[in-house]
A and B are shown apart, each in its own frame.
Chain A
Amino acid sequence: DSGVTQTPKHLITATGQRVTLRCSPRSGDLSVYWYQQSLDQGLQFLIQYYNGEERAKGNILERFSAQQFPDLHSELNLSSLELGDSALYFCASSAGRGYEKLFFGSGTQLSVL
């Protein structure tokens, strides 16, 4: 168990809908990262937050947004969903800047039908 909690584990929704994925980092970790794993794109970095502030941005679509709350949990919001958004979404956390070990959650499997 990595100590990173992601909910829900599975999510099935329809095209055009909006969903929210939730992540609780390991106790004491200030950084949260979101990754997407899909069959065609592989593993891609989406975004990073450090202590409530956005620190780095990757290949995150404009339809996607994220935030980190004062209690350090994070949410990834996906809107106007398309079939191609079906993927496994990982949250990871680390104590600092991310050059050391990232602890990954078990992921949320999103299926857009």
Chain B
Amino acid sequence: AQTVTQSQPEMSVQEAETVTLSCTYDTSESNYYLFWYKQPPSRQMILVIRQEAYKQQNATENRFSVNFQKAAKSFSLKISDSQLGDTAMYFCAFMKEDGGSQGNLIFGKGTKLSVKP
């Protein structure tokens, strides 16, 4: 079975600084997808960034980038120029690529990020 581990329950960062959230996963699959989702106080789950395991290039979305280390099964999220609106729970998630796992995201426990002014 696949597992996703986020070892930092809480983190804080000063506005405009950079912060990195850690995520490790365990799987025997070779084809899969990794995601970071954000859940602000509004409770809405918002996709931050997505990575396909077969791509070596790290995904980036504006101020958000990942460091994907497939051999180490590590998938960290870097937030640059942190903004107050980045305050949220961040969830790392894994999805196998097979017909029976469509939409079956396996989530970590989350990291609560606070951006301080």
A-to-B contact residues, CB < 8 Å: 2, 31, 33, 35, 42-45, 48, 50, 55-56, 58, 88, 90, 92, 94, 97-102, 104-107
Contact = CB atoms under 8 A, between A and B. Distances in A.
A90 B45 contact: yes
Contact of B43 (A31, A48, A58, A107): A107
Contacts of A55: 99, 102-103
Contacts of B101: 56
A102 B33 contact: no
Interface string B36-67: 00000011111100100000000000000000
B47 A101 contact: yes
Contacts of B102: 31, 48, 50, 55-56, 97-99
Q: Which of B45, B101, B109 has the most CB of A within 10 A?
A: B45
B25 to A, nearest CB: 14
